[in-house]
Amino acid sequence: MAKTTTASKEGMAIRTKREIIKLLKQEGALDALQLAKLLGLTGMAVRQHLYNLQEERLVAFEEEARPMGRPAKMWRLTPEANRLFPDGHADLLVSMIESMREAFEEEGLEKMLEIRNRKQIIQYLSKAPSDLPLKEQLEALAHARTAEGYMAEVIDNVDGSYSFVEKHCPICEAAKVCSGLCSKELEMIQQVLGEDVDVERKSHMLTNSNRCVYSIKPKGSAVL
């Protein structure tokens, strides 16, 4: 019975740590009390899990000043935690890109990226057609990207624009050795949404952000 109880507690601890990692991936930096509220646990219990995750080098914190009291520890995932999420066969992709570059040089690699970009545009337009209202098209695109591991969502901004947020990049390691992948991603989103929409990348995982964020705004719209 004691062994069963111990195993049960260990299993619960593993599940809780997975939930903490998932929440930090989805929501960005959170303090222990915010996590505790989302998980239905005490702040003390969450802090213990966070310190355990810190020992595993999966989370780290930065102190954030508060109007009253001591600074809060804002916990976030470390780059090491990326291995816990889909990576799109990173090692294979990196190897293929390096082989393509060696065999066909940069010109051949660029041509490959252009072909991939065209196919992506056709694929996404079939799932997020341009005749949909912009928000519906963005939500359909987010659904398609999430199915591929990008953990995408659409946020309504107060000025009438939208933020297209991707919380994970399954091709991040490949993009580190082939920057064209990222530039093509921006180009792809622009072409899927059409010329009547302005698309601007505001945050980028390859520049130490924890997510990629694209500002989406219909051309000619007034900003509040």
Nearest CA-CA partner of 106 in 50, 10, 178, 198:
178
Q: Residues of CATH 3.30.1380 domain(s) within the chain?
A: 90-218
* DSSP reduced 3-state for 193: helix
Nearest CA-CA partner of 76 in 54, 48, 45, 43:
54
Q: What is the pLDDT of residues 15-44, one digit of tens each?
A: 899 899 989 988 888 999 999 999 999 999
CATH fold of the domain at 2-84:
Arc Repressor Mutant, subunit A (1.10.10)
CATH fold of the domain at 90-218:
Muramoyl-pentapeptide Carboxypeptidase; domain 2 (3.30.1380)
The amino acid occupying position 220 is: G
* DSSP reduced 3-state for 201: strand
pTM: 0.69
Q: Please spell the DSSP secondary structure of 116-172, one letter per residue.
A: HHHHHHHHHHHHS-TTS-HHHHHHHHHHHHHHTT--EEEEE-TTS-EEEEES--TTH
Q: Residues of CATH 1.10.10.10 domain(s) within the chain?
A: 2-84
Q: What's the pLDDT at 212?
A: 93
Q: What is the pLDDT of residues 170-211, one digit of tens each?
A: 888 888 888 888 889 999 999 999 999 999 999 998 887 888
